[in-house]
């Protein structure tokens, strides 16, 4: 059996958490931008 290396497993998990956090920040930043510009909807 060929197992996924641990470095890949670690990278996936850490990368996913950082990207998820970044996603939340991006959404909030866009919300503020749209709100200020009067273009939410």
Partner 1 sequence: MLAAAIISPVTGGILLAVFSVLWVLLGRYWGQKAKSLDGFMVAGRNVGLAFGAATAVATWVTSNTTLLAPQFALQLGIWGMLAYSTASIGLFLFAPMAKRIRTLMPHGYTSGEFIRLRYGKAAYVAFLAISLFYAFTWLVSMAMAGGTLLEALAGIPYLIGMTVVLTVCVLYTLFGGLFAVIGTDFIQSCIILVGIVIVAIACLTQVNLGDVYTHTLEERPMLLDVLFPAAVMAVFNNLLFGLGEIFHSNVWWSRAFAMREGVGGKAYALGGLLWLPIPIAAGFIALAAPVMGINVPRADQVGPLVAGNLLGTTGAILVFVVIFSSIASSIDSLLAATSDLVTKDIYAQFINKGATNEQLRKTTGVVIVGLGVLCWLVCAPRVGTLATVLFFAGSLVGSTIWPIAAGLYWKRTNPLAATLGLILGSAVGLVGYFTIAWYVAALIGTTVSMVVVIGGSLIAPREFDWKRLNPSAASESA
Minimum CB separation of residue 17 from partner 1 in Å reads 5
Instruction: State the DSSP H helix or E strand holding residue 9, giving kind and residue range, or none if neither.
Output: helix 6-36
Question: x/- binding map, residues 3-22, to partner 1, per CB under 8 A?
Answer: xx-x-xxx-xx-xxxxxxx-
CB of 26 to partner 1, least distance (A): 7
| Angle at the Cα of 33 from the Cα atoms of 32 and 38, rounded to 5 degrees | 95
Binding site for partner 1 (CB under 8 A): 1-4, 6, 8-10, 12-13, 15-21, 23-24, 26-28, 30-31, 33-35, 39-41
């Amino acid at each position: 059996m060929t197992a996924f290396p641990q470095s890949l497993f670690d990278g996936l998990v850490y990368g996913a958490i950082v990207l998820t956090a970044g996603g939340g920040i991006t959404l909030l930043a866009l919300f503020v931008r749209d709100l200020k510009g009067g273009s939410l909807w």
